[in-house]
A and B are shown apart, each in its own frame.
Chain A
Amino acid sequence: MPSTTTVKQLTLADVRDILDAEVLNGDDLNVMVIAVGAADLLSDVLATSKTGTLLLTGLLSTQVIRTAIVADLCGVVFVRGKKPGEDILSLARESKIPVLSTRFKMFEASGRIYSALAESTESK
């Protein structure tokens, strides 16, 4: 995940607002996002992410959720309006992995989060 960015203060609720995202799983979005990364290659996520990373991905597979469990990710955002199937969502519910879906493409979703972080840093 070459584009991983360590963030100062951002919660999943902030990400939902920034990406105008639909929440598909997760009752409590008051979860700190430690870092953000965008990738479709799960081996890259496993190799480079850290605990508490939020993953933006265009990959629809149950392996995305298993990767989130294994690598202690704080949540998953499916980009480009992709809606995960019931197999993916039931695994997410079972393992308490927050799942969001945004209509923005990966590049734009990443840019929006990056800009929000830059603004929050500048205003300090």
Chain B
Amino acid sequence: MMQEALESTYSVLGRDFANAGRVSTQIKDTLKRLGVHPTVVRRIAIVSYEAEMNLVMYATRGKVLLNVSSEDITLRIDDEGPGIQDINLAMQEGYSTATPEMREMGFGAGMGLPNIKKNADEFNISSEIGRGTRLVIRVRQAA
């Protein structure tokens, strides 16, 4: 699969519910344009969207870095926010600290991080209380 390498950064603002998800649809368009396999595009789009919603719901602001190489696609999501108290707990399906406002949008049921992990070939999460969270996800290009 011949593809040009690409790296771009997108900014996401916390609490900006009107635009939540926009960056993920842009990332999806970019990957489609590059000719990435539709299954891979969909997996990255889902990962990106869940992560973007988490960022908007919980953090003050953050950045999404997209890196495309011929072998894989990497997303790195860095946010400035409260951080995650207990990552093992946050990884459990159904565990959530969401507000009713978040749930009204169809999110915040404790499915986001497990969904992200499910769609990733490599998944890395680190967090510092009071500082923020970093998520690194890698999806291999379809052989």
Q: Known: A61-B105, A64-B106. Is A41-B111 also a contact (CB below 8 A)?
A: yes
Contact B118 A47 (CB under 8 A): yes
Contact A66 B21 (CB under 8 A): yes
Contact A71 B107 (CB under 8 A): no
Cβ of B14: which chain A residues have Cβ within 8 Å of it?
none
Contact B115 A66 (CB under 8 A): no
Question: How many chain A residues touch the partner (CB < 8 A)?
Answer: 22
Instruction: List residues 14-34 of chain B with CB under 8 A from any CB of chain A.
Output: 18, 20-22, 24-25, 28
Q: For B105, give its contact among A45, A46, A63 (CB under 8 Å).
A: A63
Contact A47 B115 (CB under 8 A): yes
Contact B25 A66 (CB under 8 A): yes
A87 to chain B, nearest CB (A): 8
Cβ of A45: which chain B residues have Cβ within 8 Å of it?
106
Cβ of B42: which chain A residues have Cβ within 8 Å of it?
51, 70-72
Q: For B107, give its contact among A42, A70, A87, A95 (CB under 8 Å).
A: A42
Question: How many chain B residues touch the partner (CB < 8 A)?
Answer: 25
Q: Bound complex: CA of A87 vs CA of B42, how far in Å?
A: 24
Contact A70 B106 (CB under 8 A): no
Q: Does A59 contact B (CB under 8 A)?
A: yes
What sequence of 0s and 1s flags, for each residue 101-143 of chain B, a beta carbon within 8 Å of any chain A beta carbon? 0001111010110110010000000000000000000000000
Q: For A95, give its contact among B20, B25, B45, B109 (CB under 8 Å).
A: B25
B110 to chain A, nearest CB (A): 8
Q: Is the interface of A mostly helix, strand, loop or mixed?
A: helix
Q: Does A29 contact B (CB under 8 A)?
A: no
A74 to chain B, nearest CB (A): 13
**Residue on A nearest B24 in the bound complex, by CB:** A70
Contact A66 B105 (CB under 8 A): no
Q: Does A6 contact B (CB under 8 A)?
A: no
**Residue on A nearest B28 in the bound complex, by CB:** A70
**Residue on B nearest A72 in the bound complex, by CB:** B42
A89 to chain B, nearest CB (A): 15
Q: Does A69 contact B (CB under 8 A)?
A: yes
Q: Bound complex: CA of A112 vs CA of B105, how far in Å?
A: 27
Q: Which residues of B contact A (CB under 8 A)?
A: 18, 20-22, 24-25, 28, 38, 42, 45-46, 48-50, 53, 104-107, 109, 111-112, 114-115, 118
| 5 closest A-B pairs by CB | A42-B106, A43-B111, A66-B21, A70-B45, A70-B49
Q: List 9 A-B contacts (CB under 8 A).
A: A40-B106, A43-B107, A46-B49, A59-B105, A61-B104, A63-B106, A66-B49, A70-B48, A71-B46
